[in-house]
Amino acid sequence: MTVVLPLPRAAEPLERVATPRRYLMCAPQHFEVSYAINPWMDVTRGADRDLALRQWETLRRTYLDLGHQVELIEPVPGLPDMVFAANGGLVIEGHALGARFTHAERRAEGPAYLRRLGSLDLKTVSEPVHVNEGEGDFLVVGELVLAGTGFRTDPGAHTEVQELFGIPVVSLQLVDPRFYHLDTALAVLDDRNVAYYPDAFSPGSRAVLQRLFPDAVLASEADATVLGLNAVSDGRHVVLPSAAAGLAAQLRERGYEPVGVDLGELLKAGGSVKCCTLEVRA
């Protein structure tokens, strides 16, 4: 006789496991706010480049101290937003897709990043057909790619990514211009969990997120508006803007280890931790 025991309710694992990552970053050597292509950017405000460099260096150090590998790309004069490496491409299982930027001001970053990706030990590097701003709008969660559209990345690029990588792509509609890239509204915590700010999404996309991630961490407006969701996780440590104190507490409650970093100068261009970080997935 077989005794069927009731399945224990799956408990949230208390021990979150970090896996070593490989990142690509670009020093803010030529950082400034000289044009405005998102609501965070105010050309009259001025940004302190030396402070930006110091803050960025702290982020790089943080990754190295956590045991991750950091590759660099040479900053190009005249491309002040090049520090936001996440926008430079998408790399999954050793295959890379280059970026194609929405705004003329950033267009030259596409080929620069493509060249750098080509110099890494990747299996293939493809030029993009449709407008896509790399990991700004494409976030990998386990066997899925979440893809943002509404402000930057063309929905045609969502299909392009699905065809190129053979991974299901879920399109999500962004509706608040402050959260113009998916990585400003949603953070991947590990292969199954995300955190997001519901109001950044259309009702339909909110419903999709609710179905896919019923246990997601929901961020407050206060944490979202300091770009708290612009975070990078290794499965255990979640590197995020230090101002997002509420989100850090929520993450700690779920067994993650929040690591706060101040990137206040880069926030003046509408970017933070995740924007500065492109993950190179082997």
Residues with active-site annotation: 181, 275
Query: Which residue, 183 or 234, is less far from ligand ARG as judged by CB?
Result: 183
Query: Which residue, 181 or 237, is less far from ligand ARG as judged by CB?
Result: 181
Report the distance separating Cα 24 and Cα 282, nearest Å. 13
Q: How many C-beta atoms lie closer than 10 Å to residue 58's C-beta?
A: 12
Only one of the segments 81-89, 118-126, 195-203, 236-244 lies at the binding site for ligand ARG (rule: CB under 6 A); that segment is: 81-89
Site for ligand ARG in 108-167 (CB under 6 A): 136
- Name residues whose C-beta falls within 8 Å of residue 187's C-beta, 6 or more positions apart in sequence: 194, 195, 196, 229, 230, 231, 233, 238, 240, 274
Minimum Å gap between C-beta 129 and ligand ARG is 20
C-beta separation of 279 from 69 below 8 A: no
User: Residue 105: CA atoms inside 13 Å, Cβ hemisphere, count?
Assistant: 10
* Binding residue (CB under 6 A) for ligand ARG from 112, 174, 232, 269: 269
Minimum Å gap between C-beta 70 and ligand ARG is 17
Report the distance separating Cα 204 and Cα 194, nearest Å. 18
Which helix (H) or strand (E) element contains residue 164?
Answer: helix 155-165
* Binding residue (CB under 6 A) for ligand ARG from 275, 278, 279, 280: 275
Say whether residue 86 binds ligand ARG (CB under 6 A).
yes
- Residue 172 phi, psi (nearest 5): -130, 135
Minimum Å gap between C-beta 214 and ligand ARG is 26
Give the per-residue contact string, 171-190, with ligand ARG (x = CB under 6 A; - = no).
Answer: ----------x-xx------
Stated length of the chain: 282
Query: Which residue, 16 or 171, is less far from ligand ARG as judged by CB?
Result: 171
Which residues of this chain interact with ligand ARG, rule CB under 6 A? 37-38, 41, 81, 84, 86-87, 106, 136, 181, 183-184, 269-271, 275
